[in-house]
Structure 1
């Protein structure tokens, strides 16, 4: 390629995500692939080459056609929501002013309350982080929501962490209700998210200081996180059940579905009694029944 030839749009977008928004390598790779799919679709859809100016002119009807093609390929509701979130970010970047068309994403069928799916949890966390132009705030929001989904923390527990938890290891000590302390394993992705936030935060992580800070340096309010999640779930077309606390429920239910026993789950969640944990068996059974009814010929 000639050195004077501009990089493909999807590559330009990924450079912006990595350099300016400091997104993780995994996120950059996934979003670049989405942008490449969209550009390829628009090239065929419009019958002409697509540049940044053309992408900036995408309308809601074009997005509906793109999503219809993707859904035709077997994309699930949750994956479609995540795809739409990435597309919106790409179009906002192409516009330069954040005025990409807003298209309501696919909704999850209403019924028995169920946990947020893994795809929805990651899409929700990514959409919240993507809204901030400040890299450290984006990293903060991503880290907090991963602590809820990936470690099962309550929102208050995550926001109550101090610099004393650093440097992070394979576990983290959490102070829960009634000042009970428990030790929770940290997945590598969760640990990396918190470490990235600490690296980017404009304040030093003093041992006795709150870890997650607000815009002016004070303690971050749980209300701020809830508002951000509410706005993100609306953009993604997720149901009202997609709340910060739902991410903790999802952590529990998904672990139970993978074979975790109730006693271990009780310890991880910090429940005072086993009866508090047993509610997840009913939730998991409801989910399994849904799967059975959908798959069984006589369901």
Structure 2
């Protein structure tokens, strides 16, 4: 951060502290925000030819913003990444303008680049089951096979993120019918645990050669340390190749499938939002690849004025 003035650096840190304390932003999010805004401030120093104090930052123009956008795109940054960086800069500027009392229109009016939003692609119900069955027979080491099957069953059966499944500790054992999960931004939610998931984890625990201490992770690597997510990703890769499934059949796709299959079975969208731990309903809608016909069917059955 040598290109950033002390005042701007202090302001950035104060904003990041607020994002963490008041909005519960996750550590990865804070790191990305810090990097994105610091890169922006450093560019402005180089662009203007002098270190930018708070007074100078308040004078940023539309032309300056265009120069930053062009520079960032020229650095082989895609539209999606640039949109994320711009969002971080706008959030910082909205906070800074309120604190310092200046008009941030030049920054806030900058248009985000358009990009094709990639919708998650869930697996069909039979494909999800086949993935779980195939993962179990891919290794000759019994407890490792049981472990991989248990993790993927948790992703599909409970809608967990892979980090949430691998974050379970011995304190959660034996699994009850519900789990308290701490997700993104430290937000807690209650997740039902279906019987097949409880049974898969219990079988793994019984076979695992490593002791299940309360503060130790449930899912272990071969040497006893915390299981690396890449191990599960590779197990999924092998399984999808054997089954002829597309590259979109990833561990995260099992979570997508959980949401989609629940909705297709008549689940309530807001209840599914709670189960997934999404802050906004629009995020859940993106996860649930439901066609218009299905949505219209639900609408006609439930809306008091329909029909």
Q: TM-score w.r.t. structure 2 length? A: 0.55
1:230 is matched with which residue? 237
2:219 is matched with which residue? 212
1:255 is matched with which residue? 262
Whole-angstrom CA distance in 2 between matches of 1:287 and 1:119: 22
1:275 aligns with 2:282: yes
1:285 aligns with 2:291: yes
Whole-angstrom CA distance in 1 between matches of 2:254 and 2:178: 19
Are the counterparts in 1 of residues 120 and 287 from structure 2 also a CA contact under 8 Å? no
- The runs of at least 4 aligned residues of structure 1 exceeding 6 Å deviation read none
1:140 is matched with which residue? 147
1:191 aligns with 2:207: no
SS at match of 1:218: coil
SS at match of 2:181: strand
Deviation at 1:286, TM superposition (A): 6.4
SS at match of 1:153: coil
Closer/same/farther in 2, CA of residues 189 and 178 from structure 1, 3 Å limit? same
Of the structure 1 ranges 272-281 and 246-255, higher mean CA displacement relative to structure 2 is found in 272-281
1:129 is matched with which residue? 136
Closer/same/farther in 2, CA of residues 137 and 257 from structure 1, 3 Å limit? same
Question: Aligned-residue CA RMSD in angstroms?
Answer: 1.7
Rg (Cα) greater in structure = 2
1:154 is matched with which residue? 161
Are the counterparts in 1 of residues 120 and 253 from structure 2 also a CA contact under 8 Å? no
Of the structure 1 ranges 121-130 and 143-152, higher mean CA displacement relative to structure 2 is found in 121-130
SS at match of 1:284: coil
Closer/same/farther in 2, CA of residues 279 and 202 from structure 1, 3 Å limit? same
1:166 aligns with 2:173: yes
Gaps of 5+ in 1: 1-111, 290-299
Deviation at 1:254, TM superposition (A): 0.6
Whole-angstrom CA distance in 1 between matches of 2:275 and 2:172: 17
Whole-angstrom CA distance in 1 between matches of 2:254 and 2:293: 16
Are the counterparts in 2 of residues 114 and 287 from structure 1 also a CA contact under 8 Å? no
Are the counterparts in 2 of residues 121 and 247 from structure 1 also a CA contact under 8 Å? yes
Are the counterparts in 1 of residues 156 and 254 from structure 2 also a CA contact under 8 Å? yes
Are the counterparts in 2 of residues 140 and 194 from structure 1 also a CA contact under 8 Å? yes
Q: Size of the alignment, in residue pairs? A: 177
Whole-angstrom CA distance in 1 between matches of 2:126 and 2:170: 30
Gaps of 5+ in 2: 1-118, 296-307
Q: TM-score w.r.t. structure 1 length? A: 0.57
